[in-house]
Structure 1
Amino acid sequence: MLEFGANDAGSGEGPGTYVKDGTEATFMADVVEASREQPVIVDFWAPWCGPCKTLGPALEAAVEKARGKVRMVKIDVDQNPRLVQMLAQQGLPMQSIPTVVGFVGGQIADMFQGAVPPGQIDAFIDALVRTGGSGGLEEALEAAEEMLDGGAAADAAQTFAAIAAEDPASARAHAGLIRAHLAMGEADRAQALLDALPGDVANAPEVEAARAQLALAGQAAAAGPVAELLARVEADPDDRQARFDLATALEASGDRAGAVDQLLELFRRDREWNDGAAKAQLLTIFEAAGPKDPVALAGRRRLGSMILI
């Protein structure tokens, strides 16, 4: 594993204190886990990419200027195609480079594509630093999450709402407020809050996860009886609709692992059925579950392996 300060083959300049090269093998440690301690910027680039030759050195200079408030990892997309493919399958737009992604707390916090002026780079870094060091608001967010996990949805909603009022750009606060109303059975209110969000917040990963949970909640209302659907699938394993409906019913009943198993089996049997409905539903479940959910993590790996076959 390369250490921070190792030579950066992409910049054409000398080694930087806060910049390093990354690979598929080091991505989890260098980016996801490291971002739990401080923000990490990932520059997806390639040697043949003209804009990358302009953006890369500018990014490195800005990171060095921040003097340890952020770190930077450079990923050569030509040398790490499997990593790029897996990230794209999980919803990260990787169709063009350079793509620059900011990670905070193990999750994507912000991103941009293409070469941008130095002022925009500085603003991008400043926003990541603010997100990664929110002080008392961060503690309040953690407390609200604990309330929600503990079943005190109404108290959590009040706390999330107060945080969102103080920091309107906090996607985590808005997402938490949506999830709290959903937990209280107020799907219409949750949808109204979601619809009212500005675009920059509405597209944040935390809000996307809340949106996925809202979508699954809507499906749950129309889910059929698990036993009846299971009997249909056992009677005819090739009944695609019955298997999809069974997965929906299992997710609605709280059996996420069972739902993922059924959808993966449906994908294995017919990945193109109903315009790829099995894969789309799997991605919705993974998004709703969050990046740390063990069932979602295992499901993503299994789906990725099946796609690459």
Structure 2
Amino acid sequence: MQPRNMSMSGVVDLSAVKAAGEAKQKAEQARAARASQQGDGPVAPVSLVVDVDEADFEAQVLQRSSEVPVVIDFWAEWCEPCKQLSPVLERLTREYGGRVLLAKIDADKNQMLMQQFGVQGIPAVFAVVAGQALPLFQGAAPEAQIRQTLDQLIQVSEERFGITGLQGAVAEEGAEEAARTPAQPEDPALAAAQQALDSGDLNGAIQAYKNVLSDDPGSTEARVGLAMAELLRRVQDLDAQQVRKEAADSPSDVDAQLRAADLDMAGGHVEDAFGRLVETVKRSAGDDRETARVRLLELFEVIGAEDPRVVTARSALARVLF
């Protein structure tokens, strides 16, 4: 069964969901079956966060989506933004206590699912409700935005489909302790920077990440966080319609192209942002060319050096420079 109603718009889009009556019936049947299996005994522990591949996608995602919204996190080992986003998704999933499940899919090992969902870049987050695939967002988003998205997903799942999740679910033994215990000691300065970013304090996040880098210039987490915070600050007050019109009307205006590229990146259109800036470098000279080149390098930091899109764009940049 392939995902439907896909449109990676960068926002929650639940308006296209169909067959609510059938979904409600399936949800009621699933709850009845689970209650029958459990009887009067204690609530069985469940895996709220699972690794999923193409072989078990139907059982772990499609079937379970009849009684609980399943959030899908497409990630990869080389993806630096994924390393920021995935722990937040896992922690929030356990915090929500069975109202959502999280399915983690390794993008490199599950290319068929990537194609079926139309994933253009990672991290990419979707949901499946009553067998319907829904785009949530692309890129590493602040925690406040993720929480708002999950709240809306849960509300619509219940109101439209009667899907209320695994009420009273408890995580499998050891899962909560593992979620609370970091794999390695957390850098307090880095944690403070991330907290500022999650709360929307972009100026505070930028300064905090700079402080980390002053002490540890090699910190990948700080470089990615700083690039992301600076990007979000640049686009927060932009009028998207005006910016895109100015960029279209004035292709030689470097500042206009920089603003449009930032909007592309913030909206998850990574290849468009990179392509626009490579073309700007190609058309420009002197200080304008250097400005466009530096901005492109800054956007590379947001995605991570090993991302295939960055590798491709670096090659394109080299060709226009040399």
Classify the TM-score, shorter chain. 0.3 to 0.5
Return the TM-score normalized by structure 2. 0.41
Question: Which of the pair has the greater relative contact order for Cα pairs under 8 Å at 6+ separation?
Answer: 2
Return the TM-score normalized by structure 1. 0.42
